[in-house]
Chain A
Amino acid sequence: MKMMKSFWSLSLIALSMNMAHAGGSKKAEAPAASAGAVVGQAAPNFELKGADGKTYSLASLKGKNVILEWLNHECPFVKKHYNSGNMQKLQADAAKAGIVWLSVATSAVGEQGHLDAPAALKISKEKKSKATTVLLDAEGVMGTAYAAKVTPHMYVIDTKGVLVYAGPIDSKATTNVADVKTATPYIAQVMAQLAKAEPVTVKANEAAYGCGIKYKK
């Protein structure tokens, strides 16, 4: 009882002091936008049809490492990696290591880079892509969930469904094929860590670069 009394009397003092500072109107700050995919947390789920006709969802891929590559073959930055053979090599290495490589085509219908299933199959064959398949995301649902901005934008998800990397494919944000050899190869580094079953610590200093994704308006 004594404790309660002293508690309340002290609180009264605190109360009066508090009233002095409470009040005073200020503008409310606009809350920040939701973050999309965050490295270290569970990767956003997706469920999309691939160009091969099968449906792919993140839940069904649990137990495998997954690499997502946002794709637009008409973008000069994407061309840099395909014309130099860099992308196909990474895809082939991934396939050897049992990593599922999903190219994602988020360009809306009528926009540059849009692919439907036959077009995707055709161009993948032409470019000798070694990806598992191309996911058809013309509605932009998966791109929005991952807050993908550019092509190529790379995400790597581990066997437990946790996002371990999100960012550029390498460190040089140019369209020059010659820069592929001299840039820091982030995705190759991530795959090396995955192969050794080490926790992925690779983090790009730069934001992902490329052409803006042509989302549905």
Chain B
Amino acid sequence: MFAGIAGTLVGKVNQFLQHLIFGLGLFTAGLIHAQSNAQINERINSPHATVELFSTVAKIKAGETFDVGFRFQMEPGWHIYWKNPGDSGTSLQLSWEVPGALLPSDIKWPVPRRIPVGPLANYGYENDVLLPVSIGWRAPAEWSGEDLAAKSLKLQVRAEWLICKVECLPADGKFEIEIPVVRDVGATTEPSAQRHLFEKIVYPFGNRIETKFENLSATYLLSFEAPEELRGRAVQWDFLAGEGLRVQHAAEVTSETQGDVVTLTIAKDPGAPGDLSNLRGLVLAQGESAQDVVAFEIDAVRGEVRQSNHSLPWLLLFAFVGGLILNVMPCVFPVLSLKVLSFVHQASQTTDGARRRLRRHGWAFAGGVWVSFMGLAGLLLLLRAQGEALGWGFQLQSPGFVAALALLFFVIGLNFLNFFEISFSGGRLATVGAGEEGYLSSFLSGALATLVATPCTAPLMGVALGAALVLDAPAALLIFSMLAWGMAFPYVLLSHRPQWLNFLPRPGAWMETLRQALAFPVLATSVWLLWVLQQQAADTVIGVIALALLLTFWIWLARQISVRGRLAKFIAHALVLAAIGWVGQGLVESWRGPHTTGVAGATDGWSPFIADTFAEELAQNEYVFVDFTASWCITCQVNKKIALNTSVTKSFFAEHNIKALRADWTARDPSITQHLEALGRRSVPTYAIYHKQSRNFALLPEILSEDLLQSQILRFVNAQQPQQQTEGTTK
């Protein structure tokens, strides 16, 4: 019997023990479970930081917005990231599970810091930061029954973040916070013990400053008026890129202040897309102490940042006069003069019909010039919008275009020598005789004149063009238009007043002789262009000469068999065109790849300008003079001959310790284009003198003489002697 009772007792004890163990097990499991499942106490220990979730309220009245926030207390040297982490890293990601009536906002990011990490840079937070989220409510009409009855709000969130010092550690946690809801009439929201932490958060100001930016080939220029409270104070400016903005985060943001206007230079990421409509990010103003930081959120639109020294009316005037001067440039003069000489005949005619026809020819020519200029300008602006580093004269940087131009001049020369005739509705390309010319002929002459004008940068064109390529498209096209009108003006004028040419002898054989004589300057231009081509792609010059020969042969062939069988004619043309095509294709292929350049390099006293080492040159010499030039720029060559390469200038440079550098822009070179832009110019010739200590620079005029060069340089040197500072503070 005892065995029985004992047995039952043991059995019961067993049972009890089993339950106990089971219960203990559950309890322990529950404990462990509770700890790994980030708990009700909203605390989690992540590597190298303590992370807590707080709220601003201990009790909330239904319908009232409140904040919750993640407090990161990090070990020294560790950091987490802003919404744009910069070069590396990733920012805090949240996924919420909240009652249906609640609407958590995006993280309200406090002002971040720039955190350099070796050659990279991040934007983020160190030491102690609270990242808040606003919890709003939907309209009461949308609340569910549960929401209406709920006694408390349970918010659950899964957070993932990256914490880094040198290496990075991903961390995550699930947080939960429960806030009782008060519904009694007259009851109010009760603030939590941590509310004061939220009130200390420093946010960036939004919409306080109006900004605009300019998209250059390698940088963005951001400009704005300093807010009133910061004017006159010593402020260090910085810019933190917004989400998705591709800049070099580690590159220093330099600033320039003129009066109240601050301009920041931000280095672009080379992989950035060419076009940008809005520049977003934070502008930071740093005072003396590290704590003294104010941030402004900005959303900049495109605009003109660098004010050109001249207003638009002046620029238009410069453009017009520049166009006028083009007419006497060696490129244009032969073609144009022959067009003009055709008037000599017209002057003697008095019929209204003839007069009217002449005027119309003038307008047709002007139309041709204008359309060509617009086409070139439009193409240039389009390519710039794509992010190409170009300037005026860009077309001459491609060997293909130079070769085409050389062949064109060659053919024109042949035409002047009467080797062949080109008829457009009955007229000749550059006729000097009487003739019923079609208006199309005049139009095409205008286009031709523009084409051959491009190698010659006229003085004043440089200023107008530099400004045009900075301004927005309509203003830029207006400036190009004025260039076109300037160039067409003499011709249009003379077509209205042909009697002004009455002083010339009556039409006669002399006109034909003159025409043939002018063929030679034209052919000389062709030779000069071949020299340019030699600088760009030396091995292809022979190919172009061969092409010229083939063209000549083709033209001759066309003349010979114009009366013979059509089949023979067809075959002959086909053969020659095939030969031309074959040579042409070979040339184009070789121009695509890298080519051997005969760089117009170091001549006596001049060293080549290399963008990467320019800073070193400036560090080693008190003054540096840079000659931005190109083989295809005639003004440049003239200046070299008469002012730059002379022994007088050479000794002048030596006397004043001026290092002379020559920047060759004959072929496409984005690094040189960037330097030109930094000077506010986009064409050659450009002459700049730099001073080492102050880093000031000055631009010289585009037409130089030895005296002018010396006087301008001396003027600059003397201005540097008393160490004057430009107005405002600079970095």
**Which residues of A come within 8 Å of B, CB atoms?**
3, 6-7, 10-11, 13-15, 17-19, 21-36, 38-39, 42, 74-77, 111-113, 147, 149-150, 166-167, 173-176, 205-207, 209-215, 217
Select which of A22, A26, A174 is within 8 A of B696 by beta carbon. A26
Q: Which residue of A has the minimal Cβ distance to B715?
A: A23
Select which of B168, B329, B696 is within 8 A of A25 by beta carbon. B696
Closest beta carbon of chain A to B348's beta carbon, Å: 23
Give the residues in chain B near A150, CB-CB below 8 Å: 87-88, 120
Across the interface, do A76 and B703 meet the contact criterion of CB distance under 8 Å? no
Select which of B166, B219, B695, B698 is within 8 A of A22 by beta carbon. B698
Name the interface residues of B665-707: CB closer than 8 Å to any CB of A: 671, 674-675, 678, 680, 690, 694-703
Bound-state CA distance A65–B502 (Å) is 72
The verdict on B270 contacting chain A, using a C-beta distance below 8 Å, is yes
Q: Which residue of B has the minimal Cβ distance to A160?
A: B593
Bound-state CA distance A30–B614 (Å) is 10
The verdict on B117 contacting chain A, using a C-beta distance below 8 Å, is yes
Given contacts A27-B730, A112-B167, contact A21 B310 (CB under 8 A): yes
Give the residues in chain A near B695, CB-CB below 8 Å: 27-28
- Most chain-A CB neighbours within 10 Å: which of B168, B324, B612, B719? B168
Across the interface, do A23 and B712 meet the contact criterion of CB distance under 8 Å? yes
* Chain B window 256-275, contacts with chain A (Cβ cutoff 8 Å), 1 for yes, 0 for no: 10000000010111110100
The verdict on B407 contacting chain A, using a C-beta distance below 8 Å, is no
Given contacts A24-B309, A33-B267, A39-B271, contact A211 B88 (CB under 8 A): yes
Across the interface, do A167 and B87 meet the contact criterion of CB distance under 8 Å? no
A-B contact pairs, 9 of them (CB 8 A): A3-B328, A11-B459, A18-B703, A21-B309, A27-B694, A31-B614, A173-B85, A207-B269, A212-B87
Give the residues in chain B near A214, CB-CB below 8 Å: 118, 166-167
Give the residues in chain B near A28, CB-CB below 8 Å: 618, 678, 690, 695-697
The verdict on B18 contacting chain A, using a C-beta distance below 8 Å, is no
Across the interface, do A22 and B699 meet the contact criterion of CB distance under 8 Å? yes
The verdict on B488 contacting chain A, using a C-beta distance below 8 Å, is no
The verdict on B244 contacting chain A, using a C-beta distance below 8 Å, is yes
Across the interface, do B700 and A22 meet the contact criterion of CB distance under 8 Å? yes
Give the residues in chain B near A166, CB-CB below 8 Å: 271
Closest beta carbon of chain B to A50's beta carbon, Å: 24
Name the interface residues of B141-179: CB closer than 8 Å to any CB of A: 160, 162, 164, 166-170
Give the residues in chain A near B269, CB-CB below 8 Å: 207
Across the interface, do B267 and A209 meet the contact criterion of CB distance under 8 Å? no
Bound-state CA distance A214–B87 (Å) is 13
Across the interface, do B265 and A30 meet the contact criterion of CB distance under 8 Å? yes
Given contacts A30-B265, A175-B90, A206-B244, contact A25 B271 (CB under 8 A): no
Given contacts A31-B678, A75-B168, A174-B93, contact A18 B328 (CB under 8 A): no
The verdict on B21 contacting chain A, using a C-beta distance below 8 Å, is no
Q: Is the interface of B mostly helix, strand, loop or mixed?
A: mixed
* Chain B window 590-615, contacts with chain A (Cβ cutoff 8 Å), 1 for yes, 0 for no: 00001000000000000000011011
Bound-state CA distance A13–B325 (Å) is 10
Residue pairs across A and B with CB atoms within 8 Å: the count is 168
The verdict on B254 contacting chain A, using a C-beta distance below 8 Å, is yes
Q: Beyond A27-B256, A212-B120, list 12 extra A-B contacts (CB 8 Å).
A: A15-B459, A15-B708, A22-B712, A28-B618, A28-B695, A28-B696, A28-B697, A33-B248, A111-B166, A112-B166, A112-B167, A207-B271
Q: Which residue of A has the minimal Cβ distance to B688?
A: A28
Q: Which residue of B has the minimal Cβ distance to A12?
A: B703
Bound-state CA distance A50–B224 (Å) is 51
Across the interface, do B703 and A25 meet the contact criterion of CB distance under 8 Å? no
Select which of A11, A23, A175 is within 8 A of B716 by beta carbon. A23
Select which of A14, A26, A32, A213 is within 8 A of B697 by beta carbon. A26
Give the residues in chain B near A75, CB-CB below 8 Å: 167-168
Bound-state CA distance A72–B671 (Å) is 33
Give the residues in chain A near B618, CB-CB below 8 Å: 28
The verdict on B321 contacting chain A, using a C-beta distance below 8 Å, is yes
**Which residues of B come within 8 Å of A, CB atoms?**
85, 87-90, 93, 117-120, 122, 160, 162, 164, 166-170, 218-219, 244, 246, 248, 251-252, 254, 256, 265, 267-271, 273, 309-310, 318, 321, 324-325, 328-330, 333, 458-460, 463, 594, 611-612, 614-615, 618, 671, 674-675, 678, 680, 690, 694-703, 708, 712, 715-716, 719-720, 726, 730
Closest 9 CB pairs of A and B: A18-B701, A14-B459, A29-B678, A32-B218, A25-B696, A212-B88, A112-B167, A35-B270, A175-B170
Bound-state CA distance A216–B554 (Å) is 64
Select which of B90, B252, B325, B614 is within 8 A of A209 by beta carbon. B90
Give the residues in chain A near B675, CB-CB below 8 Å: 31
Bound-state CA distance A111–B165 (Å) is 12
Closest beta carbon of chain B to A110's beta carbon, Å: 11
Select which of B89, B218, B246, B273 is within 8 A of A211 by beta carbon. B89
Across the interface, do B701 and A19 meet the contact criterion of CB distance under 8 Å? yes
Select which of A23, A29, A207, A210 is within 8 A of B698 by beta carbon. A23
Bound-state CA distance A215–B250 (Å) is 14
Give the residues in chain B near A33, CB-CB below 8 Å: 248, 251, 267
Across the interface, do B697 and A25 meet the contact criterion of CB distance under 8 Å? yes
Bound-state CA distance A27–B698 (Å) is 9
Given contacts A25-B698, A214-B166, contact A31 B671 (CB under 8 A): yes
Bound-state CA distance A205–B708 (Å) is 51
Give the residues in chain A near B329, CB-CB below 8 Å: 7
Across the interface, do B88 and A14 meet the contact criterion of CB distance under 8 Å? no
Give the residues in chain A near B463, CB-CB below 8 Å: 18, 21
- Most chain-B CB neighbours within 10 Å: which of A17, A29, A173, A205? A29
Across the interface, do B93 and A32 meet the contact criterion of CB distance under 8 Å? no
Across the interface, do B460 and A18 meet the contact criterion of CB distance under 8 Å? yes
Across the interface, do A29 and B265 meet the contact criterion of CB distance under 8 Å? yes
Closest beta carbon of chain A to B725's beta carbon, Å: 10
Q: Which residue of A has the minimal Cβ distance to B594?
A: A42
Closest beta carbon of chain A to B275's beta carbon, Å: 13
Across the interface, do B701 and A215 meet the contact criterion of CB distance under 8 Å? no
Select which of A11, A34, A175 is within 8 A of B703 by beta carbon. A11
Give the residues in chain B near A25, CB-CB below 8 Å: 694, 696-698, 716, 719-720, 726
- Most chain-B CB neighbours within 10 Å: which of A13, A77, A113, A175? A175
Closest beta carbon of chain B to A51's beta carbon, Å: 22
Bound-state CA distance A26–B719 (Å) is 12
Bound-state CA distance A38–B458 (Å) is 35
Closest beta carbon of chain B to A214's beta carbon, Å: 6
Bound-state CA distance A147–B269 (Å) is 11
Across the interface, do A15 and B701 meet the contact criterion of CB distance under 8 Å? yes
Bound-state CA distance A150–B269 (Å) is 14
Across the interface, do B160 and A76 meet the contact criterion of CB distance under 8 Å? no
Select which of B88, B273, B671, B726 is within 8 A of A149 by beta carbon. B88
Across the interface, do B218 and A212 meet the contact criterion of CB distance under 8 Å? no
Bound-state CA distance A3–B87 (Å) is 60
Closest beta carbon of chain A to B521's beta carbon, Å: 9
Bound-state CA distance A22–B89 (Å) is 48
Closest beta carbon of chain A to B101's beta carbon, Å: 29
Give the residues in chain A near B93, CB-CB below 8 Å: 174
Q: Which residue of B has the minimal Cβ distance to A19?
A: B701
Bound-state CA distance A3–B340 (Å) is 14
Bound-state CA distance A6–B328 (Å) is 7
Give the residues in chain A near B699, CB-CB below 8 Å: 22-23
Bound-state CA distance A202–B235 (Å) is 43
Closest beta carbon of chain A to B632's beta carbon, Å: 19
Select which of B90, B120, B271 is within 8 A of A173 by beta carbon. B90
Give the residues in chain A near B726, CB-CB below 8 Å: 25-27
Bound-state CA distance A174–B88 (Å) is 11
Q: Which residue of A has the minimal Cβ distance to B317?
A: A17
Q: Which residue of B has the minimal Cβ distance to A32?
A: B218
Closest beta carbon of chain A to B682's beta carbon, Å: 14
